[in-house]
Structure 1
Amino acid sequence: MNLDGKVCIITGGARGIGRKIVETMAEAGAKAVYALDMAFDGFDEVTKALPNVKSESADVTKSDAVKTVVEKIWEAEGRIDVLVNNAGITRDNLIQKMSDDDWNAVISVNLTGVFNLTREIGPRMMNQGSGSIINMASIVGEVGNVGQSNYAATKGGVISMAKTWAKEFARKGAQVRSNAIAPGFIRTPMTEKMPQKVLDAMVGKTTLGRMGEPEDIANAALFLASDASSFITGQVLSVNGGLTL
């Protein structure tokens, strides 16, 4: 699989799964891979090693900021071929203990942020006649999880939006594809904050008997971004080691 000549944008691209997706797509020959994030601590080593990687600071919850950065990239590159809506946060608690701030923060980043980017980029892809939109969902968006009402709502939402956009942006013959990836439990800074007993329980229920690694998700994103998946749209690719069967 290769991304020769393609221009890619990955939100939340400075760390964790997002960073691995940036590196994987750059190594696959993309013309340019833009990592969008709020902070880029330690990201210099990526841009030094991979000259086709670029960084842009952007708050995905702010529609004006998103519009500005997308227009900047479009002016520089003349096209956008891949959008990975990866930026996300958690603010977990049982619903009776979940504050308005915790609810609104997760909705703003994980759902509104995805909407903001795709509203700017999806129509451009449609006009250019092709593109791949990839929403980062979660196993939690498929089956739910105690203490994650806000997170589950957003991840279920991005699955529904991916299916909607598969229909919306393919009108008039445009080869714009929209899919979602639903990771299981992946070894990232986010899961490192979870109690070990919870992680051990999840590994115990996983058919392959281990947590996933960021490259497992990055490889799935590479597949959906590449022409190897040219007849796949409106789908959810569950990468969870057999946690759900």
Structure 2
Amino acid sequence: MLRSRITPCLLVHKKGLVKTVGFKDPKYVGDPINAVKIFNEKEVDELIVLDIDASVEGRGPDFNLIKNLAVECRMPFCYGGGVSAVEEAKKIISLGAEKVALSSAVFKDFDLIKRIGDAVGIQSVVVVLDVKKKSFLGGYEIYIHNGKKATGIKVKDFVEKLDKIGVGEIVINSIDRDGKMEGYDFTLIDIVRNATEVPITILGGAGNVEDIRKVISKYRIIGVAAGSLFVFKGKYRAVLINYPGKKEKQELHQSYS
């Protein structure tokens, strides 16, 4: 049975777990493996791990980290960062990840999605789109290389393109809302939801559990991801790995209007 998903998103920078605001000023919040161990205990739905250095530095995935994550993970996890070849994706899946995330590489080689899908199964291929609101475009523009390079492409147009070829999932990451904990961008979700039948996950803006509830209540079967919400606690943003308890999670999954 299909249902909503509540997913922590971990950002890896210089081997450490960090959190950013607007894709800038990464703050060290701990060791990725320790975070995974805690999330195991909290029985999270799934996990997204993104290496935010790889594409910017022009290098491939950190296979050693992926292997260590896979050994510890008791939940399905998706890994992204520096993936630009079929063999890299195959190795990531062989190490134990359920999904492989693509981002910058698909703007150089769109057919990479199909080739990786043929190799590992299209259901395991996730495309992550980092977006900013741009009034002169009349919508939202996609950025690559950890938000450093504008593509000039509207998110709606690219999502429609992804919908035509079919991918396992599309993750929409709001650069404007990243780390600000002020709520999700519903206008952005509407644009993406209306442009595709592909499963989507929205990321960027969660400040509390109620923000998650609002998204699930409106859109029902959807992935809701968060970073700061699951690594910080309280107004002083003390580092504390957290996640809704079993009863609260069940209520969130069932919070349809």
TM-score, length-scaled by structure 2: 0.36
- Which protein has the bigger strand share? 2
- Which protein has the bigger helix share? 1
TM-score, length-scaled by structure 1: 0.37
